[in-house]
Structure 1
Amino acid sequence: MNKTWWKESVIYQIYPRSFNDSNGDGIGDLQGITEKLDYLKELGVDVIWLSPVYKSPNDDNGYDISDYQDIMDEFGTMQDWEKLLTEVHNRGMKLIMDLVVNHSSDEHKWFVESRKSKDNPYRDYYVWRPGKDGREPNNWESAFSGSAWQYDEATEEYYLHLFSKKQPDLNWENPDLRKEVYKMMTWWLDQGIDGFRMDVINFISKEPGLLDAPNPEGKKYVGGGRFYMNGPRIHEFLHEMNNEVLSKYDIMTVGEMPGVTVDEAKLYTRDDREELDMVFQFEHVDLDSGPNGKWDLRPLDLRDLKQSITKWQTGLNGEGWNSLYLNNHDQPRMVSRFGDDGKYRVESAKMLATFLHMLQGTPYIYQGEEIGMTNVRFDSIKDYKDIEILNMYKEKVIEGNESHDKVMESIYVKGRDNARTPFQWDDSEHAGFTTGEPWLKINPNYHEINAKQAVEDQNSVYHYYRKLIKLRKQHPIIVYGDYQLILPEDKQIFAYTRSLENEKLLVVTNFSGESVPFSLPEDVDFTANELLTSNYAIEGKPSLSFELRPYEARVYKGF
């Protein structure tokens, strides 16, 4: 296995709008991030991933970009960004940027030109089609509800938008468009950034013909999805991108790829393929979704999680690389989803962190995760800002007569604004995030859950994360060791071993609020000689048979 810096790193994702506001306008900004770099350095992270800060009308919180080489006014200036990069590097950390090139904003100069006429030089930068039988060109649905096509009166054709109608899809079949994208990527890398996280990058190759999805509803990520995920030219495009741009720099790349399989991920990430370094896959965060998608809630069966994690751990071992995450800007807070955000919030946040950071792969921490921030329950739909939430509520409640209470429950559990409430820095007004009125309401629990309290308390979630990050740097087995699941059928305990040369680790985690007995199965060859970490105080010598307390985690080192 090739050893690289990005395999050994821990990455921290910043959602700039919600991180820290330096000027009192209620919106997080670049200067606000620079102010908090010492906090991140002290936490121990190696790489900061910055969600989009580019010029944008902000229809989808910056994922609709109108100028790829400028900064959104609310976030500051290019000089502020350059200062941030310098200060990140001065502290020995790295910075990766979000690359959003499946689509642009409809206010990007390319699209403004593209919609002017059918023979405009930029027309073919986007996916335009005439209607079919008086309706849209096909039955695909947008990820944000409704048709994936928008009619444009100027030229009497439709353009494709797999997301918001203000996010028209770029046409990667056009070599001129690809050259423009590579030029822009090169420009950022020449500024000195350390890589890219690539937004829905496996959507850039669509099936030729853009056929109707076979299921009558044309649901996203099912019927329609297979026509635009992992399409026929995707590897060609990514290999070309690597050849033209990525291979020329010592950087890391991670591709967000809904619907990707283990076998496809190998093709994307294997060294000899020369495409990307790692992928974000979604299988494990779709396990608590019913047949009708993410808003269709169902309880997680731990055995399903084991099966999924194990498939990826063993499948990519030696042939690719895993990205390890349980939450991000699009997912609810992990302690609310997989743990207990009430009585056992601290214990379960530490347990989940142990479970994740001891796996093979590169761990990602989403801002606030390291202090155990939780989901939020706003009283009114009017308090929510996310386009996906608002479109879904309109479709289901206002137009579809579904129960308000039932839909709100889905929002409380799965809504993206759970992750986007402002960072809770202290217990002062607005949680120390801003001196103004925050763009999105603060979670009311900031009096109890905030960074100031966490930094001062040696037993906090924050200090436990610092310990996990340090352990990773001290023990190569945590990064590179092989993984083996034990107790696959247990409904409460997730336990596994890691092995590297003559060393072994035993990781035992209790995903329940009950005490459960654990005994190492006889067929597992492991002798414990040291307790590496635990989230409860443990007396006595290492043992391989013990009672696990609610949400307890233990890691033993041995041979």
Structure 2
Amino acid sequence: MATSDPLMPLSESGKTPQVYQLEDSKNEAHYTRDLEAVKVNTSPKFVGLTKEQLEQYRSDPFWKPMRLILFILFWLAWIGMFAGAVVIVVLSPKCDVKKQASWYKNKVSYQAWTPAFRDSNGDGTGDFKGMNEKLDKLRKIGVQTLWPTPVIQSDTFSYGVTDFEKVDERLGSEEDFKELVDEVHDKEMKLVMDLPITTTSTEHPWFKASRSGGEFTSYYIWRDVVPRGGEEFWAKDDSANKYYLHYQEKKHWPILNWDNTQVSEKILAAAKHWLDIGVDGFYLGFVEYLGRNAEGTQSDWDASTDRLKAFITEIRNYVNSTEAIRDKDIALFSSLENGHNDHQLSLIEAGLNYIINPELTNISAQSCSNKIAPCLHKMLKDVLANHDDNSELESMWELGKPSASRLATRVNDRATAELLTFVQLLLPGAVNVYYGDEIGMMDSKTSGVAAAQRGMMQWDRTAHTGASSTQNATADAAGDDSEFNFDDQYSKEGSQLKMFKKLAKLRLRDEALMLGDYRLGALQSDRDAFAFSRVYWKGDNSTVGNVYVGLVNFGETDFTVDWKADRLYHTGAKLAKGEVVAFTSNVKNYTPRQQIDLSSETHLVGPKQGILFRFAS
């Protein structure tokens, strides 16, 4: 029989005691007797004062006030400790909080020409409801900001505005637009829109009224004769028998006179209207026309920036004073086709968040003499140097837009266009993608109502590319939708769209691509190629997270990269073993996550191919 007590939970040594083994009736009798003894020995003994003793102190003249004093002291001590804890929390030094970049600084924006994007009701014109139908597809490929163009009522879906506070009814109702904005926000995306602040249409009621004199005459800039050298900027209105200032070579876009404070007040009222609907920002077009020289041929930059600053200040004040939108970070941006670096800086100082870099939209086979790499390399080098010298300039890169021929058409080659998009998605800052460029769309082959670069979006292989159900569409299709359509590419591994999705998503979660430096390698002119890297540096000269190196070959022949000899990349970081992350759709000799070793390997990059490698720092 075991000698330890079976009812004790643990022995003094901490080990579980053994239990009795009931071998026979004699042992069982002994066990019963011992158990009764344990019960007697372990009965609790009464400790403390009896009820009668306690009763003596209940009304004692000494203990009665003493209890009250002790009770009060207890709560005073508790309150004091609580207050002390609050003071410690308030006065303690704050932990360093990692600053998050504003939503517009590194996101993928998607600009869609609304009339050609998706027609929901079969009237031939794309609309807000149709755009709403396709939101989920855009979100899945990594688009974070939607930029529908246009929204405001105009004469020809342009900057010829006819009412600043109304949506174009051909695109849907204001309620349809509000539903689009709400759905965008439900999907944790943003929506920005064009707000033309310097032009209207000649069909605008203001302009019609200005012809006959009265208060609206000063809404525009009129002259009795055309100033010398200003023929491209002035047009005669026969009914008024005078000349009005208009946007260069666009007679139906008269310029608003911002010397008249009523004009700025009207435009501000329009901005407030769209902010109340819920938009997250504005593209302010043609800001250089806010002030003009006497001849109207050039911008008066001092006047333009002063007026822009006053306008932006009013917008910011309105946002900060309006409870429903007070916490919103509103993006205000523009572009300059012919502005100098100092003009860009003055516009940033006036309050714009960023200026779109227009240089890449000028890339074409013709302008680059069929040598894309040297052309692109020089543009990137110049723009990046300007941004390095002026850190307040934020980048936004675009390759396509509604006023330029489509990228794949400009370079006469879809593979080259895809490679340019590959480079664009890895540039620092934000990028703006023109609808259809993510699948390699080209200009329409037929001459329709809309410009060739505004063809119907190619969604699938159904009639009219899935963008409309009618042949009488506002825009034409490019005519090659059988292969180059969204749905087919989304379902195919290794397509251009899948490459786009991979890089767009990667920008959202990797610090090196969100916040890192961009280093441009030397141009390999004999091979029409170059490399670049993305590295996020800390202040102590060490890197954070991953290091990315991209190789792009715009040439017609293969070339082999010898990592030791070529020094094609330049990161400043020590690189060794890594992996393949992404590549263009024509790459066949690499696989995702393929391991590489720079200490011993060389890599083949084929014609019109791009490859992205990742290294752990």
Instruction: Give the structure-2-normalised TM-score.
Output: 0.74
Q: Deviations over 1:63-86 (max 9, x none)?
A: 211011112221111111111111
CA distance in 2, matches of 1:198, 1:245: 12
2:561 aligns with: 518
2:230 aligns with: 140
Secondary structure in 2 aligned to 1:158?
strand
CA distance in 2, matches of 1:70, 1:125: 19
Secondary structure in 2 aligned to 1:234?
helix
Secondary structure in 2 aligned to 1:445?
coil
> Does residue 68 of structure 1 match 2:164?
yes
Secondary structure in 1 aligned to 2:253?
coil
> Does residue 446 of structure 1 match 2:489?
no
2:134 aligns with: 36
Number of positions where the alignment pairs a residue of Structure 1 with one of Structure 2: 483
Q: Deviations over 1:341-372 (max 9, x none)?
A: 2xxx4xx4442222111111101111111222
2:103 aligns with: 5
> Does residue 478 of structure 1 match 2:513?
yes
CA distance in 2, matches of 1:519, 1:490: 16
2:217 aligns with: 123
Shift of 1:2: 7.4
Shift of 1:233: 1.4
Task: Indicate conservation of the 8 Å contact 1:126/1:171, yes or no.
Answer: yes
Secondary structure in 1 aligned to 2:596?
coil
Shift of 1:140: 3.2
Task: Indicate conservation of the 8 Å contact 1:126/1:170, yes or no.
Answer: yes
Task: Indicate conservation of the 8 Å contact 1:203/1:231, yes or no.
Answer: no
> Does residue 185 of structure 1 match 2:271?
yes
CA distance in 2, matches of 1:267, 1:479: 26
**Which residue among 303, 307, 318 is the counterpart of 1:233?**
303
Shift of 1:421: 0.7
1:170 aligns with: 256
Task: Indicate conservation of the 8 Å contact 1:517/1:547, yes or no.
Answer: yes
**Which residue among 525, 531, 535 is the counterpart of 1:499?**
535
Task: Indicate conservation of the 8 Å contact 2:112/2:147, yes or no.
Answer: yes
1:320 aligns with: 393
2:502 aligns with: 467
Secondary structure in 2 aligned to 1:512?
coil
CA distance in 2, matches of 1:372, 1:235: 38
1:553 aligns with: 610
CA distance in 2, matches of 1:300, 1:103: 38
**Which residue among 462, 467, 487 is the counterpart of 1:433?**
467
CA distance in 2, matches of 1:283, 1:424: 27
2:354 aligns with: 278
CA distance in 1, matches of 2:409, 2:165: 37
2:458 aligns with: 424
Q: Deviations over 1:169-207 (max 9, x none)?
A: 111222221121112111211211100112222332212
2:12 aligns with: none
Secondary structure in 2 aligned to 1:449?
coil
Task: Indicate conservation of the 8 Å contact 1:376/1:443, yes or no.
Answer: yes
Task: Indicate conservation of the 8 Å contact 2:368/2:375, yes or no.
Answer: no
Secondary structure in 2 aligned to 1:541?
strand
Shift of 1:25: 1.4
CA distance in 1, matches of 2:263, 2:365: 36
2:177 aligns with: 81
- Aligned ranges 1:345-424 → 2 under 5 Å: 345=415, 348-378=416-446, 383-385=447-449, 417-424=451-458
CA distance in 1, matches of 2:362, 2:421: 19
1:332 aligns with: 405
> Does residue 541 of structure 1 match 2:612?
no
Q: Comparing 180-189 with 349-358, which one deviates more in the overlay? A: 349-358
Shift of 1:467: 0.8
In the alignment, residue 493 of structure 1 is paired with which amino acid? A
2:205 aligns with: 109
In the alignment, residue 30 of structure 1 is paired with which amino acid? F
Q: Deviations over 1:382-433 (max 9, x none)?
A: x2435xxxxxxxxxxxxxxxxxxxxxxxxxxxxxx33201001111111111
1:149 aligns with: 234
**Which residue among 277, 283, 295 is the counterpart of 1:210?**
295
Residues 267 and 367 (structure 1), Cα distance of their counterparts in 2 relative to 1, 3 Å cut: same
Task: Indicate conservation of the 8 Å contact 2:365/2:372, yes or no.
Answer: no
2:580 aligns with: 531
Shift of 1:288: 4.7
Shift of 1:506: 1.6
Shift of 1:557: 2.6
1:14 aligns with: 112
Secondary structure in 2 aligned to 1:254?
strand
Residues 507 and 441 (structure 1), Cα distance of their counterparts in 2 relative to 1, 3 Å cut: same
Residues 115 and 289 (structure 1), Cα distance of their counterparts in 2 relative to 1, 3 Å cut: farther
In the alignment, residue 351 of structure 1 is paired with which amino acid? L
1:261 aligns with: 340
CA distance in 1, matches of 2:301, 2:378: 27
> Does residue 91 of structure 1 match 2:187?
yes
1:251 aligns with: 330
In the alignment, residue 465 of structure 2 is paired with which amino acid? A
Runs of 5+ consecutive residues of structure 2 not aligned to the other structure: 1-98, 320-327, 538-542
Residues 153 and 47 (structure 1), Cα distance of their counterparts in 2 relative to 1, 3 Å cut: same
CA distance in 2, matches of 1:457, 1:498: 28
Residues 298 and 121 (structure 1), Cα distance of their counterparts in 2 relative to 1, 3 Å cut: farther
In the alignment, residue 115 of structure 1 is paired with which amino acid? R
In the alignment, residue 375 of structure 1 is paired with which amino acid? D
CA distance in 1, matches of 2:465, 2:347: 41
Residues 356 and 446 (structure 1), Cα distance of their counterparts in 2 relative to 1, 3 Å cut: same
Task: Indicate conservation of the 8 Å contact 1:542/1:556, yes or no.
Answer: no
Secondary structure in 2 aligned to 1:31?
helix
Secondary structure in 1 aligned to 2:444?
coil
Residues 302 and 200 (structure 1), Cα distance of their counterparts in 2 relative to 1, 3 Å cut: farther
In the alignment, residue 229 of structure 2 is paired with which amino acid? N
CA distance in 2, matches of 1:161, 1:282: 23
Secondary structure in 2 aligned to 1:446?
coil
Percent pairwise identity: 25
Shift of 1:52: 1.5
Residues 254 and 518 (structure 1), Cα distance of their counterparts in 2 relative to 1, 3 Å cut: farther
CA distance in 1, matches of 2:530, 2:290: 36
CA distance in 1, matches of 2:199, 2:382: 31
Residues 286 and 367 (structure 1), Cα distance of their counterparts in 2 relative to 1, 3 Å cut: closer
More contact order relative to length (CA 8 Å, sep ≥ 6): 1
Q: Deviations over 1:140-190 (max 9, x none)?
A: 35xxxxx32221233321001115222111112222211211121112112
Task: Indicate conservation of the 8 Å contact 1:359/1:479, yes or no.
Answer: no
CA distance in 2, matches of 1:283, 1:352: 13
Shift of 1:261: 2.9
Secondary structure in 1 aligned to 2:302?
coil
Residues 309 and 297 (structure 1), Cα distance of their counterparts in 2 relative to 1, 3 Å cut: closer
CA distance in 2, matches of 1:452, 1:173: 51
Q: Comparing 450-459 with 504-513, which one deviates more in the overlay? A: 504-513
1:305 aligns with: 376
CA distance in 2, matches of 1:542, 1:185: 55
